[in-house]
Structure 1
């Protein structure tokens, strides 16, 4: 790093002008080529990243008036049939399909199909 010294006059708070040193800085070139982490090292860095996993039992399209009419006990018909595979989404991207199972008193999913990247619907940008 090299410096070039000059001076500049700046206004002071009380109205006086003050000479202050000004230096122009020139940085030496840096190596911008990325250091390639090993494949296992790159994956290790991602292992504790949290992802949102959602399971979609089905969807329905409704008019506003029908949504406003919903009340306790209302039933909404979904587009999936009972027993059909459900969609497993990771961060809103379809990655698998599976069947609903009961584990003690909670629902779970048994994965029955991994959706290939080429068969996935395009992601909305």
Structure 2
């Protein structure tokens, strides 16, 4: 709908509600165009380090996946102490490292002071990470 100054203050003929009054959209109504800031002198390029500080303390859950398998409920119910579940990965094969359930890297299992660790052998590229989201 286009309104003009000649319709200003009159009921809007295009509206089914005769109580609606059209308003002028011209400069006479006191409207001013929005002025956008100059993007060529953007200072946000100097702010990435400051923005990064905001997220450095956010906790992530890191998981190393040893392997997977599928089994029937009947097989699951038969498991007992000493049962062995065969996994899909072969001994010595690289493990997947997940951050909040998203693949970020691969690595090999190591033992450090009698605790397991993982040595990163491959970092997943941003392109591969995006493909993994599909």
TM range (shorter): 0.5 to 0.7
Q: Name the structure with the higher helix share.
A: 2
Aligned length: 91
Question: RMSD value over aligned CA atoms?
Answer: 2.0
Does residue 77 of the first structure (1) align with residue 83 of the second (2)? no
Q: Which string of whole-angstrom CA distances, capped at 9 and with x for unpartnered residues, describes residues 60-113 of structure 1?
A: 011111111111000000000000000000000000000000001100000000
Task: Write out aligned runs for 1:1-125 (5 A).
Answer: 38-120=47-129, 122-123=132-133
d(CA) in 2 for partners of 1:122, 1:111: 19
Q: Gapped runs of 5+ residues in structure 2? A: 1-43
Aligned to 2:30: none
Q: Name the structure with the higher strand share.
A: 1
Q: CA deviation at 1:116?
A: 1.3
Q: Gapped runs of 5+ residues in structure 1? A: 1-35
d(CA) in 1 for partners of 2:133, 2:76: 27
d(CA) in 2 for partners of 1:78, 1:91: 22
Structure 2 counterpart SS, 1:54: strand
d(CA) in 2 for partners of 1:39, 1:117: 19
